[in-house]
A = this chain, B = another copy of it.
Amino acid sequence: MKNIAASIAMSTLAATGVEAQEERRRVAPPAVYDVAPGLGHFTDDVLFGEVWERAELKPRDRSLVTVSAIVSTGKTAQIGGHVRRALDNGVKSEEIGELITQLAFYTGWPNAISAVAEVKEVFDERNIAPVVSSDAARIELEATAEAARTATVNTTVAPTAAALADLTNRVLFGELWQRPDLSARDRSLITMAALIAVGQPEQLPFHANRAMDNGLSNTEASEVITHVAFYAGWPRAMSAVPVLKRVFEARAD
């Protein structure tokens, strides 16, 4: 990959001088350089200097993926900063609310409730009005795919855990996935990032296919894995690679 960071740094230099460049390059707080100078270097030169600048995924998508990975893995201390960045990158407050709601189901209530407290502080600080549930039309799920999904749940889950199957069909797919304030594509993108981050790639194919049916490209899907590598660790990303490979192959057929 080309070093996008270097060219950005160069153009920033030309435009606004050395100090702005230095400031731009320092996302890592000073304590990072005092305790782990290598981490400071990788944060500023690789993660923010290169990865966040890659064109393969838009900043708004990177923010959705990052906030999803952080909320999913319960990294409360990092939520505020990344929600601020997400708002700056064009994610709307109601989309953040829906992201949290989605992740309550996909990674557990405690993560979502803890995220709410952090996000509330950011909303208050920025005078963002309370989110109101949309009265827009529900997002319709594609009928054939939905029938197949229901049949699978009824066959594989219901005989062992009838209530879980019922809640999956009635609440997750009958309500949550149809909520209008987050696009189908973004809801699937968030879910993909969460599954990779928490180490559950078994359930990635369903959601990756869904995301790609709703417009996520192969390039973007790959880049999600690369981005999550930084926020949930390389091993989680590496375990997702063969799973996504099979999704790509099946869709190419």
Contact = CB atoms under 8 A, between A and B. Distances in A.
Interface of A: 1, 29, 31-39, 41-43, 46-47, 51, 54, 56, 69-70, 73-78, 96-98, 100-101, 103-114, 116-117, 119-120, 123, 130-133, 156-157, 159-164, 166-168, 170-172, 175-176, 179, 181, 195, 197-200, 202-203, 222-223, 225-226, 229-239, 241-242, 244-245, 248
B230 A109 contact: yes
Contacts of A78: 109-110, 113-114
Q: Which of A170, A179, A233, A244 neighbours the largest number of chain B CB atoms within 10 Å of its CB?
A: A233
B163 A36 contact: no
Given A160-B245, A200-B235, A245-B160, A97 B226 contact: no
Contact of A108 (B133, B200, B231): B231
Contact of A31 (B76, B117, B230, B232): B117
Q: Which of A98, A108, A116, A171 neighbours the largest number of chain B CB atoms within 10 Å of its CB?
A: A108
B108 A77 contact: no
A145 to B, nearest CB: 18
From DSSP, what is the main secondary structure of chain A's interface residues?
A: helix
Given A1-B170, A36-B98, A78-B109, 16 more contacts: A31-B120, A34-B131, A36-B112, A38-B179, A46-B171, A77-B114, A78-B114, A105-B229, A105-B233, A108-B231, A109-B231, A110-B231, A161-B222, A161-B225, A164-B226, A200-B235
